Amino acid sequence: MTEIKRQRICPICEAGCGLNITTDGRKVIEIKANPRDVFSNGHLCPKGVALQELDSDPDRLRQPLLKRNGRHEPVTWDAALQHISKQLGGIKEQHGANAVAAYVGNPTAHNIGLAMGFGAFAGSLGSSNIFSAGTVDQVPKQLASEYMFGDDMAVPVPDIERCDLLLMLGANPVVSNGSLWMVPKFRDKLRSMQQRGGRLVTVDPRQSETASLADEHHFIRPGTDAWLLAALINELRALGADGERRYPSKNSARLFDALSRIDTHMAAQRTGLAAEQILKLAERLYGAERAAVYGRVGTTLQAFGTLTSHLVEVINVITGNLDAEGGAMFPEQAFYAPRPPKTEYQHARYRSRVSGYAEVLGQMPVAALREEIETPGPGQIRALVCFAGNPVVSNPDSTRLEGALAKLDFLVCVDIYHNETTKLADVILPGTSPFEDSHYDHFLGAMGYRNTARYSAPLFAPQQPDEWQSALTLAYIAANDSVPTATQLADFEDDHVAASAAAYAADEDCALAGRDVQELVSMIEPQQGVERLLDLGVRAGAWGDHFGMRDGLTLGKMAAAPHGIDFGAPRPRLAEVIRFSDGRIDLGHSAILQEVNRLQAQPPAEGLLLVGRRNVQTNNSWLQNLPALNKGRLQNGETLCTLDIHPLDAEVHGLQEDNWVAVGSATGNVQARVRLTERMARGVVSLPHGFSQDETINQGMRRRHPGANANILAASNYIDEMSGTVALNGIPVSLTRIE
């Protein structure tokens, strides 16, 4: 035996845990936390340990699959690619570029090869039908930043290590490990905050695992956070909060004027909090030396998600906590992404064909996906290339979406499993094991609780094209309608790297502005792969060597530091963040004011409302095939996919623990087992997402743990109107006991 211990970052969630992995040849022997990792300091959850099973899972795809006569058969890469090239080329030629759509899923945020490759693919495709899991997730928060700071990547995060009061709405980091906030060991950080006298206040329709550790919890009626935040802003101002004067800001007066029509009693009625509680909370925020407000999935996956996200930051501004130590800060990451010139916000530059949904962050909202496939006419989507996504389970109106995807002329999936979506594909290209790719948090690194630079090289050499190569190959196919030879692909990569270097040289804010592109390219150290782009971005970044201009970071230096490099706590940097030409924070854009009006005009949602939740043992719709994450449940007949309901609501509906219930909504029906818990607000029920009852997928273990697909209940036109993001929380439902 020749066991070797090596370090690697877990690619599953935003905790970004550093792992110590013991290997013997191609075999993983053991996975443990890496206590020396400068960012995660020894954090680990069961999913990280289960990576070993993911690597060895016999159900994980390792060969391209081609559908013939309704069955998937293994084929060579060349055969699969030739087929893709022929089909996509034909559809584009006959129906135009927009007839081919692309969808990119959540794991891309944790996979730099896939993310950069997808960028190249979308660039070559030239279709305006680009979709992502973002519009069933974080886009409202990013759009709020676009309107407020002129940069959708400027997302402030709580400076938890120096904070005295954290107000958290619609997030459960004890389970999720943070979201648009890389915060491993959240529990420990919370405990330290509490030990130095700090307080956590949670607002959630459930008393979640995080809320249970909070100093104060408030149940809220789903979808009403904007009312609460508006009232808090009014109360804070009445107390004297005028932090906006400390910042270069604009349009505050008109925002405050619009919000002033929402009084605390109205907000109390809508939200279910008492007026005195709202006032007390405002006093706490006003009195706290260093406070931060943070909202996540519960506040973005709801109607008014963008307004809510905006108001969260308004509180951070008026309390003087934005960009201040212990408040909501803008972390920095080592990788610099070039930014095109810009002076104004960018949104709604084009619209979807059928319902006129506005473009957001260069994408179409997934709310539009099904109808764009189903509605005939010029521009109809006829083919889809889906990278690391499972829209049949993660997107709204699942039953009808599945029907629409089945009707496509051509579906390609790049994925590691046969699942509810990929089973419909004409071709599936396998991704690699997480141990066969490199890792760098190119996207989420800008939202870390601390500034660090960490890189993992592949643990094992892939036995197939890595995801950067496959995506780049698809990009070549999209651009040239033919499958590249090895030389052609290498040239294509060279061109892509040169174009990227040119974008850095053209970016006036970048340290490489004006540099000679050929010189930059010749100095990039890695010879091939996505590592070239990583070296480029890291050397252009805050700590980079700026290509020979100073002694600084390179990919090589990151690779030589397997526990990561620490650059300290976030520092105030607002001036660098704001991208408007006047350098000012926009507190009251007219689009935001319109939303305030729309909020007030909206009647309250009556009846029972459904919200989501997450479990430590699952990650969206995947990982459920791994035995380590299903321990015990199978034998005990347990399920994570219960309908949680308050006992008094259960009584009203004639339901008892373990009863089966049909949950119905405007779009469909699912069945789930009832779990009674006083941790639910009255009038609210909860189902996790990511489950399905599909018995035709080739995942043995997942098939044995069926669960209700919550998104059968979600309507694709129930959205946050500003961003087009689907409101997957706050869905009106009815319950019927199943005898």
Ligand X SMILES: Nc1nc2c(c(=O)[nH]1)N[C@H]1C(S)=C(S)[C@@H](COP(=O)(O)OP(=O)(O)OC[C@H]3O[C@@H](n4cnc5c(=O)[nH]c(N)nc54)[C@H](O)[C@@H]3O)O[C@H]1N2
| Of residues 221 and 532, the one with the C-beta less far from ligand X | 221
Nearest partner of 104 among 475, 531, 538, judged by Cα: 475
Distance in angstroms (rounded) separating the CA atoms of residues 115 and 521: 21
The stretch near Mo ion (CB under 5 A) out of 111-119, 132-140, 238-246, 419-427 is: 132-140
Cα separation of 610 and 684, whole Å?
A: 6
d(C-alpha 496, C-alpha 211), whole Å = 47
- Indicate whether 365 belongs to the interface with ligand SF4 (CB under 6 A): no
Q: In the beta sheet, which residues pair with residue 360?
A: 363
Spatial CB neighbours of 392, under 8 Å, sequence gap ≥ 6: 398, 401, 402, 405, 419, 420, 421, 424, 692
Does 614 sit near ligand X (CB under 6 A)? yes
In the bound state with Mo ion, the residue whose beta carbon lies nearer, of 106 and 642, is 106
Q: Are 560 and 134 in contact (CB under 8 A)?
A: no
Residues 334-363 that bind ligand X (CB under 6 A): none
Three-state secondary structure along 323-352?
CCCCCEECCCCCCCCCCCCCCCCCCCCCEC
Q: Which stretch binds Mo ion (CB under 5 A): 135-143, 242-250, 645-653, 702-710?
A: 135-143
Q: Which option in ligand X, ligand SF4, Mo ion, none does residue 650 bind, with CB closer than 5 to 8 A by kind?
A: none
Q: Is there a contact between 397 and 715 (Cβ–Cβ < 8 Å)?
A: yes
Q: Does 45 bind ligand SF4 (CB under 6 A)?
A: yes
12 binds ligand SF4 (CB under 6 A): yes
From the list Mo ion, ligand SF4, ligand X, none, partner contacted by residue 511 (C-beta under 5 to 8 A by kind): none
Residue 683 interacting with ligand SF4 (CB under 6 A): no
Where would I find the H helices in 336-419? 369-374, 391-394, 398-406
Q: Which residue has the tokens 């004890």?
A: 174
- Indicate the residue among 51 and 133 with the shorter CB distance to ligand SF4: 51
Q: Is residue 402 close enough to count as binding ligand X by CB under 6 A? A: no
Please report, for residues 16, 37, 562, 564, the alpha-carbon distance to residue 34 in angstroms, rounded to integers and kept in the order given.
Answer: 11, 6, 10, 11
Query: How many C-beta neighbours within 10 Å does residue 94 have?
Result: 10
List the one residue out of 151, 255, 156 whose CA is nearest residue 580: 151
Query: In one letter, which amino acid is 154?
Result: A
Residues 7, 15, 294, 586: which binds ligand SF4 (CB under 6 A)? 15
Total residues belonging to the chain? 739
Nearer to ligand X, 130 or 553 (CB): 130
Sign of CA dihedral 546, 548, 549, 553: positive
CB of 110 to ligand SF4, least distance (A): 9
Tell whether residue 203 is a contact of ligand X (CB under 6 A): yes
Smallest separation (angstroms) from Mo ion to the CB of 338: 25
Type and span of the H or E element at 521: helix 517-523
286 to 305, contacts with ligand X by CB under 6 A? 296-299, 301-302
The listed partner (ligand X, ligand SF4, Mo ion, none) that binds 552, CB under 5 to 8 Å by sort, is none
Residue 619 makes contact with ligand X by CB under 6 A: yes
Q: Contact region for ligand X (CB under 6 A) — 92-100, 220-228, 573-581, 586-594?
A: 220-228
Q: Which stretch binds ligand SF4 (CB under 6 A): 11-19, 343-351, 478-486, 513-521?
A: 11-19
Binding region for ligand X (CB under 6 A) out of 70-78, 163-171, 267-275, 542-550: 163-171
Find the binder of Mo ion among 37, 53, 137, 244 (CB under 5 A): 137
Residue 722 in contact with ligand SF4, rule: CB under 6 A: no
Closest CB to ligand SF4 belongs to which residue? 48
Chain positions 141 to 200 lying near ligand SF4, rule: CB under 6 A, are: 177
Give the one residue of 34, 129, 145, 179 binding ligand X; rule: CB under 6 A: 179
Q: Does 175 bind ligand X (CB under 6 A)?
A: yes
Neighbouring-strand partners of residue 363: 360
Smallest separation, CB 33 to ligand SF4 (Å): 8
User: Is residue 136 part of the contact set for ligand X (CB under 6 A)?
Assistant: yes
**Binding to ligand SF4 by residue 48, rule CB under 6 A?**
yes
Cα 37 to Cα 32: distance, rounded to the nearest angstrom: 12
Contact call for residues 617 and 738 (beta carbons, < 8 A): no
With binding defined as CB under 6 A, does residue 106 bind ligand X?
yes
No. of helices (H) and no. of strands (E), the chain: 26, 29
Q: How far is the CB of 144 from ligand SF4 (least distance, A)?
A: 26
Q: Could you tell me if 116 and 440 are in contact, meaning their C-beta atoms sit under 8 angstroms apart?
A: no
Minimum CB separation from Mo ion for residue 137, in Å?
4
Given a contact cutoff of 8 angstroms between Cβ atoms, the answer to whether 293 and 305 are in contact is no
Question: Which of these ranges, 45-53, 112-120, 573-581, 607-615, lies near ligand SF4 under the rule CB under 6 A?
Answer: 45-53
Beta-carbon contacts of residue 91 (< 8 Å; ≥ 6 apart): 99, 100, 382, 383, 409, 410
Q: Which residues bind ligand X (CB under 6 A)?
A: 13, 105-107, 111, 114, 133, 136-137, 169-173, 175-177, 179, 203-206, 208, 220, 222-223, 225, 296-299, 301-302, 388-391, 394, 414-417, 419, 431, 467, 611-616, 618-622, 689-690, 710-711, 714, 728-730
Q: Which residues bind ligand SF4 (CB under 6 A)?
A: 10, 12-13, 15-17, 43-45, 47-48, 177
Q: Which residues bind Mo ion (CB under 5 A)?
A: 137
